[in-house]
Amino acid sequence: MDKIKRYTPPSTDPWLPLQEFTQARIALGRTGSSLPTEQLLHFNMAHAHARDAVYAELAVDKLTDDLKVFELVILQVKSMSANRAQYLQRPDLGRLLHPTSAEILTPYGEHPADISIIIADGLSASGINHHTAPLLNKLIPLLQAQGLVIGPICLAEQARVALADHIGHALQAKLTIILIGERPGLSAADSVGSYLTYAPRPGLTDDARNCVSNIRPGGLSYKMGAQKISYLVQQAFSRQLSGVGLKDEEGLIER
């Protein structure tokens, strides 16, 4: 009978080289049947960052200062959510515009613009606080190069994506772009998502929007994110629609 050979694990994890291409938790190693202490501490830290991102507040003063360079009107608005706890427990309230905010916006609707840009805390104000200014530095020149008129920039607190429909409708904008903090994960707690909607109005559902997600230095770069948003905006105005009927076909290989 052949002698049973004792299994000797490889000295290095064959997945280790893949860490270069992703921030996902791979090739973490193990101690017995568990994770090494260092990796467990990293996991707990990432979880803490994700929790902090959810409860972070929109840095209204900082964003206002950062956005002055664009020489656009900046307005502060809020949803019907009274606080963060209610925002998390009642997502529907985060989609509704507070009456006092509607009163602020209505006068600007008398002189409609092509585009309304909304900057919203969402589920990660941390991402919005860090990435909004550099992203808009790339995006706004691209939109203006298309000859589009940009209306007031709205800083929205306790906001969900659909709040942009109410804001755009109040401003009589032809299209809305909402930059919103995405749900934080264990690999990234600072992602920004951009949702654009043509002919915004209350009652629209997610199938009427286009999304460009994971905009951040470790994901989709500011430059690439701005280019994708600009392309979708151009196509939305050309086809007079957004959502499932509008696809990002830029860069596809034609057969």
Q: Rg for the chain (alpha carbons), in Å?
A: 22
57 is in an annotated binding site: no
* Angle of helix 37-55 versus helix 125-145 axis, rounded to 10: 70
* Angle of helix 125-145 versus helix 222-239 axis, rounded to 10: 60
71 is in an annotated binding site: no
Nearest to 193 by CA among 206, 203, 174, 204: 206
Query: Sheet holding 209-215: strands in order across?
Result: 74-78, 150-157, 115-120, 175-181, 192-198, 209-215
192 is in an annotated binding site: no
Residue identified by tokens 């199938």 is 207
Residue pair 105/173 in contact (Cβ under 8 Å)? The answer is no
**Cα 194 off chain centre by:** 5
Residues flagged as binding site for adenosylcob(III)alamin = 161, 182, 211
Q: Residues within the annotated binding site?
A: 161, 182, 211
